[in-house]
Structure 1
Amino acid sequence: MTATVPSRRRPARILLPAVLALAALVTPGPAAAPSAAPTPAGTTSGAQAGPSVTDSPAGAHLTGTHRAGTRQPGAPAPGRLLAVRRLSGSVPAGAQGWQLTFTTRTTTGQPTTGSAFVLAPARPPAGERPVILWTHGTTGLARRCEPSVSADLTHKTAAVPQALARGWVLVAPDYRGPDGATPVPYLLGPGEAYVALDAARAARAFTGLRLSADTVVWGYSQGGHAALWTARLARSYAPVLRIRGVAALAPVTALPAQVDDWRTEPIERVLVSYALLAYGRTYPEVRVEDHVRADAREKVRAVASGCISDPAEAARMADTLRGPEVFTRAPSTGALGTRLREHTATAATGGAPVLVAQGGGDGVVRPDATRAWARAECAAGRRLELREYPEVTHGGLLVDSSGVPAALTEWTEARLRGAPPTPTC
């Protein structure tokens, strides 16, 4: 069963959302990786001694760093705070912001470093503040594409003013941290979840804030996939957090069918290329050669350096992938298909209520795909609430006039006060 939300406006239907409409996200700052390995000892619940905060000078987005810890034998404990930098520039009015660097894990469990930005009210209310853990949509595989090093922190986020007005703290992880050698977990569920959960744990260790364990996960597009995986793994991976709910906006869910669906349009071929490259760097049996025409392989590999969040770069990447069929084999087949099935998202979130918001005019994550996934989840005995917004496009879900940000805020307030959810199955 689906709850259909009356449309508040009729946005122009766009076939490709995120892609050309994710304007002005680049112009990155100089995000240097810490040169020293993190210390493996210490807790992540707020008891560890955190690093000091370095200010960004006027006019800069991110500069300077403070590195904590020395190289120790053994793997570092994930979620350990390493460095804090105060943000300026695109921090919203009435807010304060920081970039955190912390220890985390890759999809396959290898230690690495992660980063995130944190936004809090300039004058937060007394007491511990609830956390909104925001997992963002696709920006690219390169470090410079990540939000915490971009010129516009909150571009393509939802309900940030509403969250700050309620005294909530936004923790927004990057998928690729300062460690440039680590594969990006693009649609790789555990890797997305680990960096998100470790960002939340590191934020709790930052003495500049008093954060509650109460956490609501919000995610959009790729981040909707990440949000569902984050809630799924939270109880076992980060039990210090209390996941009160997960809201997935236009989530990428059934991966084999979804990635197959992206093979036709040139700009969506960039998304297929991202998935193929990310999976190939994580699983050696997944090879570009098994899925891409010989004369298009270098073009596919080249998109790894481009940011789809920048309209000009997105257009250039799409142009390189125009013409005849680039892919000789469906992504849903072979070793890639096997791995995509393993990373498909579910609503098995350890009991946390699930809200899925879907635009009826979405040309990237198709409404029928989300409905089919929701029906399958309901048939499997999982409970979720699916709300559809007629004619709202992929990017339109984030716009206040769609009604989604207000509904998301209201739903989150209900979860934080312990009100029972209202699933549609």
Structure 2
Amino acid sequence: MNINMIRILNVATLFVFSSLTASAIAVSPDSGDRLLSEDYSASDFPTQAAGKILKKTRVEGKYAITNADEVYKVFYTATDGVNSKVRINSGIIFLPAGNPPKNGWPVVSWQHGTTGIADRCAPSWTGPDQPSKVVISSWIAAGYAVVAADYQGLGMPGIHPYLEPKSLAYSVLDLLKASLAAELGLQNTIVLHGWSEGGAATIATALYAQKYAPALHITGASSSGAPYITPKTLRFLASDKTGSAEVVSYVTYLLNSASQLGADLPEDDVFSAKGKQFVRTYGNYCVDDLVREATINKSELNEIVNRKAFGNQLLLEKIAYPPFKTEIPLFLSIGGSDTDVPTNMQLALQQKMCADGANLSYKVYSAADHTATLLASVEDTIVFLSGTQEKNEDSTFTALSCKN
């Protein structure tokens, strides 16, 4: 499908998305790491090397994408980004209708935004959220198969190490390896696209790909609304200039998962008395419910988090990107009115990537918030990433670069 048709599809879906509201009923704050169903029992699978699909089940209903012909929930082996052992992760694969091209469907790996850190927040359990459906449908319309990892610890046993780069990258790369070997009619021609936490996952995947999965032919990557955690950006988050319910939620996930991963973060050094109660009550909620509770409780970041946590060097080391040096072309879409991942944080990421010599293009969508930036940038992303595969030689892509 051409770009004009994709534009029409996105406008129509954006109208639908903008009319949706979150459920008024919060989910129960039970244990975040728990068995969702027998399908998600790791004990049922034999131990194998990373990058192998262990189970593939065709699914419908909440997983359906209008123009996807087949959708599969998959369980696969992956390298644990924290301890380097082989573990089992979950994900979803979406295939276009019709026969694949001679060499197979080109592949886009979609990295979803923050859903939470509890097992039940995994997209393979809940189905894709509405912004993800827009993106997935757009890529299928452009003739791509879509591979979407849950990330380590979502769905399957173990804590989800929120924003930890290796666990995000290995989850993505191992699902790509497994999918190519699964006789699904896919070709080893891959682009990466992610949003929010998935924007961070996309960048991490591009940075680790050559060393961890050199056989994968990744031609380009696009990241929307990616967080960038440094002492400076943490000080900004801790200031009175920000503190949206979304920021409160993301920082709660970050500190909650980091403290459980041995980041030497005693509870009293992380959360205030109000914060400890907030985390005990709501910390395992999925993101829409956590944001709602933060709003209802009028929870501000300075009231929840102890400032000592923002200076913890081990925490910063655990979630730091490696140097931004990769030959893979990258595109950043930045929301000029984003309060979920504040614009200043995203611009700091862009500046650091340029300083490190990344092959970077970027664009600021001046009036767009976090979700609107993703949706507004889908067309640009498809043009940019298709261009890295010489699929749209006549298309023009306008953006800034590190040379501008």
Superposition TM-score tier, normalisation by shorter sequence: 0.7 to 0.9
Q: Does 1:275 align with 2:254?
A: yes
Structure 1: 5+ residue stretches without partners: 1-17, 41-75
Q: Secondary structure at 1:254's aligned position in 2?
A: coil
Partner Cα distance (2:263, 2:116) in 1: 21
Aligned to 1:354, which of 323, 330, 354? Answer: 330
Match of 1:93 among 46, 60, 66: 66
Once residues 398 and 381 of structure 1 are traced to their aligned partners in structure 2, the CA distance between those partners, rounded to angstroms, is 25
Give the match's secondary structure for 2:138: helix
Q: 1:258 Cα deviation (Å)?
A: 4.0
| Matches of 1:167 and 1:412, distance apart in 2 | 13
How many equivalent pairs are there? Answer: 364
Write the distance in 1 (CA, Å) between the matches of 2:244 and 2:346: 20
Contact persistence 2:230–2:316 (CA under 8 A): yes
1:289 and 2:268 aligned: yes
After superposition, the C-alpha distances for 1:222-252 in whole angstroms (9 at most, x for unaligned) are: 1111110011111111122111111010111
TM superposition score normalised by structure 1 = 0.77
Matches of 2:21 and 2:385 in 1, distance apart?
Answer: 25
Instruction: Say if 1:138 and 1:289 are closer, same or farther in 2 by CA, change over 3 A.
Output: same
Do the aligned partners of residues 83 and 259 (structure 1) sit closer, same or farther apart at CA in structure 2, a change above 3 Å counting? farther
Shift of 1:154: 5.2
Tell me the distance in 2 between the aligned counterparts of 1:161 and 1:197: 22
- Decide which moves more: 280-289 or 113-122: 280-289
Give the superposition deviation at 1:292: 1.3
For 2:151 and 2:96, the matched residues in 1 are separated by 24
Larger RCO (alpha carbons 8 Å, 6+ apart): 1
Q: Which amino acid aligns with 2:359?
A: R
Query: Counterparts of 1:346 and 1:419 in 2: how far apart (Å)?
Result: 31
Q: Secondary structure of 1:253's match?
A: coil
Which whole-Å deviations, capped at 9, do the CAs of 1:124-180 have from their partners, x for residues lacking one? 432322111111111101111111111445544553233112321111110245765
Q: Are residues 1:116 and 2:98 paired?
A: no
Where does 1:232-381 land on structure 2 (aligned, <5 Å)? Answer: 232-263=207-238, 264-308=243-287, 310=288, 312-320=289-297, 322=299, 325-335=303-313, 338-345=314-321, 348=324, 350-381=326-357
2:160 maps to what in 1?
184
| Residue identity in the other structure for 2:281 | A
CA distance in 1, matches of 2:154, 2:370: 29
Cα distance change on mapping 1:22 and 1:254 into 2, 3 Å: farther
Q: In 2, are the aligned partners of 1:78 and 1:104 still within 8 Å (CA)? A: yes
Q: Is the Cα–Cα contact under 8 Å of residues 100 and 116 in structure 1 kept in the other structure?
A: yes
Kept after mapping to 2: 8 A contact 1:244/1:416:
yes
Q: Which SS does the other structure have where 1:134 is aligned? A: strand
Return the alpha-carbon distance in structure 1 between the equivalents of residues 263 and 322 of structure 2: 25
SS of residue matched to 1:331:
helix
Aligned match for 1:165, one of 141, 144, 149: 141
Q: CA deviation at 1:347?
A: 7.0
Q: Which amino acid aligns with 2:250?
A: L
1:33 lines up with 2:74 in the alignment: no
- Find the counterpart in structure 1 of residue 381 from structure 2: 408
**Which residue, out of 81, 102, 113, partners 2:76?**
102
- Does the C-alpha gap of structure 1 residues 272 and 261 become closer, same or farther in structure 2, counting only changes over 3 Å? farther
Corresponding residue for 1:80? 52
Which of 202, 213, 218 is residue 227 of structure 1 equivalent to? Answer: 202
State the distance in 2 between where 1:371 and 1:410 align: 22
- Taking every aligned residue pair, what percent have the same amino acid on both sides? 24
- State how far apart, in whole Å, the 2-side matches of 1:274 and 1:161 are: 29
Could you say if the C-alpha distance between residues 178 and 333 of structure 1 is closer, same or farther in structure 2, counting changes exceeding 3 Å?
Answer: closer
**Equivalent position SS for 2:189:** strand
How far did residue 306 of structure 1 move?
0.2
**Contact 2:122/2:154, CA 8 A, preserved across alignment:** no
- Partner of residue 7, structure 2: none
The one-letter amino acid of 1:414's match is G
Greater fraction of residues in helix: 2
Residue aligning to 1:393: 369
